Structure 1
Amino acid sequence: MTETIDAVTLVAGSAEGAAFVLSEPLSFWGGLDSATGAIIDQWHPQKGQIMSGKILVMKAGRGSSSGSSVLAEAIRRGTGPAGIVLMTRDAIVTVGAMVAAELYAIHCPVVLVAERDWRWITASGRLVLHADETGAKLHLLDGID
């Protein structure tokens, strides 16, 4: 079954990929290896997992404003997420994706979704994002029937 959810565009773009749902917030600064796309935060429960090319799904980011530069670098290298779904606005994550779009012309859409839709999104195996200045659509594939 395919569901479509309306979202708010934070950074425009289109992406498709496997959902990579974080069980806890992540700081990109000290938490992500931009060379490999691996989570390197020693205390994160998903340490060692790779987010490259996936749609990163997290309630919010965590931490340092320097995380924007790490995210932008990962996007530039092709080791970052293809897109990002947030439940809480996060300026650090948003700025990182905006910088990658502006400096490198590589788009990693970032969208904001409502809490009421969270369980559907996190249960989906694959996501398709389309985000522009008029709004965003998040298509849930391989999810709950």
Structure 2
Amino acid sequence: MVLNAQPLNAQVLIAGPQVSGRCLALTAPISFWGGVDPRSGTIIDARHPQRGEAIAGTVLALPGTIGSSSASAVLLELVHAGKAPAALLMDAPDAILLLGLVVAREMGWPTPPALRLPAAAQAALAGRWLMLSGDGKITAE
């Protein structure tokens, strides 16, 4: 559990600036390709429990991802459109998804950080306002 005075430490996968946002902790894995609208940043997968939720500006907690080689392109489009999450919290690194952030950074676009945090810890953060430092410390308000 995260306490205001005691930050939670996450592993930095893709470094980024200090960010904050409401934690949208997904309750099921998601495929960005076909699961997230790259123009609006809305979850569009008809079978996903959080269908209709906007991921833009959130600290998006991913308990898992459903692979597709197009996931990196969707995340890249989200960054370009200004509809990306403020940060990603991943239970396990997804190299294909993270590639979208690497390419966005190479293009000079502001890139959200990505951190590794176990799914159990992610669930405890659902709905809370989080602040993430550049070194992987997460505090909740």
* Common fold by TM > 0.5: yes
Distance 1:76 1:110 in 2: 17
Bigger mean CA deviation after superposition, 89-98 or 7-16? 89-98
* 1:92 has 2:99 as partner: no
* 1:137 has 2:130 as partner: no
Instruction: Choose which of 12, 15, 34 in structure 2 pairs with 1:12.
Output: 15
Structure 2: 5+ residue runs without aligned partners?
none
Instruction: Choose which of 28, 46, 49 in structure 2 pairs with 1:24.
Output: 28
Per-residue deviation, 1:92: 2.2
Give the secondary structure class of the aligned counterpart of 1:93.
helix
List 4+ stretches of structure 1 deviating above 3 A: 114-120
Per-residue deviation, 1:117: 3.3
Per-residue deviation, 1:8: 0.8
Q: TM-score, normalised by structure 1?
A: 0.85
CA deviations over 1:3-30 (Å, ceiling 9, x no partner):
4111111111122101111111111111
How many residue pairs get aligned? The number is 137
Give the secondary structure class of the aligned counterpart of 1:121.
coil
CA deviations over 1:60-118 (Å, ceiling 9, x no partner):
22120111110111011111111001121211222122222221321210000245634
Distance 2:66 2:107 in 1: 24
Instruction: Choose which of 81, 87, 92 in structure 2 pairs with 1:83.
Output: 87
Would you tell me which structure has more strand in proportion to its own residues?
1
C-alpha RMSD of matched pairs (Å): 1.7
Q: TM-score, normalised by structure 2?
A: 0.87
Question: For 1:31-110, what aligned pairs fall within 5 Å after superposition?
Answer: 31-110=35-114
Q: Percent identity?
A: 33
Structure 1: 5+ residue runs without aligned partners?
none
The equivalent residue for 1:127 is 130
Cα distance 1:35–1:115, how it changes in 2: closer, same or farther (>3 A)? closer
